[in-house]
Structure 1
Amino acid sequence: MKYNEISHFSHTEHKLRFEYSEFPFKCDGCKEVGIGSRYKCSICDFDLHMHCAMITSPTLHHPFYTKCNFQFMSKPPGDTPRYCNACEKDVSGFLYHCKACGFDLHPCCAKLPLLLDDGEVKLYLYRKVSSPCHRCGRKGRSWSYRSKCKNYNLHVACVRDMLVENWHEVCVKGRGVNSNIPSLRNTLYTPHSSRRSKGKVKKCCEIAGLAVQVVISAVLGDPTALIAGIVGSFMSRAS
């Protein structure tokens, strides 16, 4: 459920208004990058992901960790650096923490759908997969989305890498500011056999491109976001 305006414990000075933006932002809750739907205080330039703004329960149970009881926390416990068990990125803000096991999850990672289906591509979330990632070409690493046909696999960590790298280029270095959403074209590892026909390779890349779009939307905490421009046709033009 979306509300046009909410009050939030992390920003008591003003109310936050719901808005959609194609410009990257840094969430002031979990400290991670975001694009699309958010709650924002324009006066203070304060932003929250949807999942960071709408904390509906202080506890969370995840099917990957059936023995864990995750508790929401506004900051990591203790002084030791911590990382998210889903994307393997640092945890420096909002998180779900299991005291018994020591596991941590970013709010957006904790709410990643087990199944992504955009009508053309079905992707299933796995804790670990044995096939190489289309982004880095490596196996293992973090949670992954894998297609039903098992030909397409993308680490959640790699999606975050792509987003952070492009957010840094646009917002920190000031490059490409004329384009709202940074392009991720030519950033994927494509292990195609040289014996494949050009037509088959193109079709394979088009499907993989659709898969990446769906995964990026989910990782941003906004599965319905219309952010296809992030990926565009970067893979469909492969040769």
Structure 2
Amino acid sequence: MKIDKGISHPIHPHHKLKLEYTEVPFNCDGCKEAGIGLKYKCQKCEFDLHKSCAMAPPSFTHKFYNKCVFQFLYRPPGEIRRYCDACRKDVQGFVFHCRRCGFDLHPCCANLPQVLEDGQCHLRLCTKLSSTCHSCGGKEPGWAYRSECNTYNLHVSCVKELLVESWQAMYLNVDKNKLRELQTRIPSLRGTLQNHHGGGRGGGGRVKKCCEIAGGAVRIIVSAILGDPTALIAAVIGGFISR
């Protein structure tokens, strides 16, 4: 039987880090982004790393940027404020950076799969949307997942925002009405699907089915963003879509 002796990491050299699974959200001490599921944790102090941060390669290339070579850095380069070109969120810690082009990627964003498939949903990662995001209603820059039938689109950044806000409501003892308020953040999806399928006889069943599929889409996007989230957290976010 193989015993996990842990790993050493340069930014936490005094203690070993062991791989574990958690259903409680954590902040990664490497990239400073939220996480859940598999992580490397110090057993002696409060120090956590996403698996993708702990095991990041020195460099890599990405399909979306075929002229770039991304180098792994422990902190953002230079003095100016930098943001991830995938999720458009600030880069505050570990980052993959292309010195030639100036692009930056959070380690978790760099590992997002090109295609997500759960049997019903087929979602493809893209660098921009041709139609609006069902969460924010816009086409702002940033990566997004688009369904094969183009019925629904979701920015990676929008899913991240919903995750963080829902976790704050559930785990940080903020206003108990927070979860209810978050449910209004995607108010137009049902109406969008209603218009897409028509409001006549039989339309309700099709709308319900599409809402269920859309909820499933969010759940597998959540899985991609965070690696291995609990079904509870994923279901909360999926519920925003299907209501």
Please show how residues 45-64 of structure 1 align to structure 2 within 5 Å.
45-55=46-56, 57-64=57-64
AA at the equivalent of 1:127: T
**Structure-2 separation of matches of 1:41 and 1:54:** 15
Change (3 A) 1:199 1:235: farther
Paired residue for 2:194? Answer: 193
RMSD: 2.4
TM-score by length of 2: 0.85
**Structure-1 separation of matches of 2:7 and 2:175:** 33
Paired residue for 2:208? Answer: 202
**Structure-1 separation of matches of 2:221 and 2:68:** 25
How far does residue 35 in structure 1 lie from its aligned partner after superposition?
Answer: 1.4
AA at the equivalent of 2:239: F
**Structure-2 separation of matches of 1:7 and 1:163:** 30
Larger Rg: 2
**Structure-1 separation of matches of 2:30 and 2:129:** 30
**Structure-2 separation of matches of 1:35 and 1:27:** 9
Paired residue for 1:67? Answer: 67
Paired residue for 1:133? Answer: 133
How far does residue 150 in structure 1 lie from its aligned partner after superposition?
Answer: 1.4
Paired residue for 2:42? Answer: 41
How far does residue 149 in structure 1 lie from its aligned partner after superposition?
Answer: 1.2
CA contact (8 A) 1:133 1:153 kept: yes
Deviations 1:44-78 (A, max 9, x none): 111111100111x2111011111111100000011
AA at the equivalent of 2:81: P
Select 1:234's aligned residue among 234, 239, 243. Answer: 239
Structure with greater proportional helix content: 2
AA at the equivalent of 1:205: C
Unaligned runs of 5+ in 2: none
AA at the equivalent of 2:86: A
Paired residue for 2:218? Answer: 212
Change (3 A) 1:161 1:229: closer
How far does residue 228 in structure 1 lie from its aligned partner after superposition?
Answer: 5.2
161-170 vs 69-78, greater mean Cα deviation: 161-170
TM-score by length of 1: 0.86
Change (3 A) 1:214 1:157: same
How far does residue 229 in structure 1 lie from its aligned partner after superposition?
Answer: 4.0
Change (3 A) 1:41 1:162: same
Change (3 A) 1:30 1:126: same
Paired residue for 1:180? Answer: none
CA contact (8 A) 1:203 1:236 kept: no
CA contact (8 A) 2:58 2:72 kept: yes
Paired residue for 2:6? Answer: 5
Q: How many residues align?
A: 229
Unaligned runs of 5+ in 1: 177-182
Of all paired residues, the percent bearing the same amino acid is 50
Paired residue for 1:101? Answer: 101
CA contact (8 A) 2:17 2:42 kept: yes
Change (3 A) 1:54 1:117: same
**Structure-2 separation of matches of 1:236 and 1:202:** 11
Please show how residues 14-29 of structure 1 align to structure 2 within 5 Å.
14-29=15-30
CA contact (8 A) 1:18 1:37 kept: yes
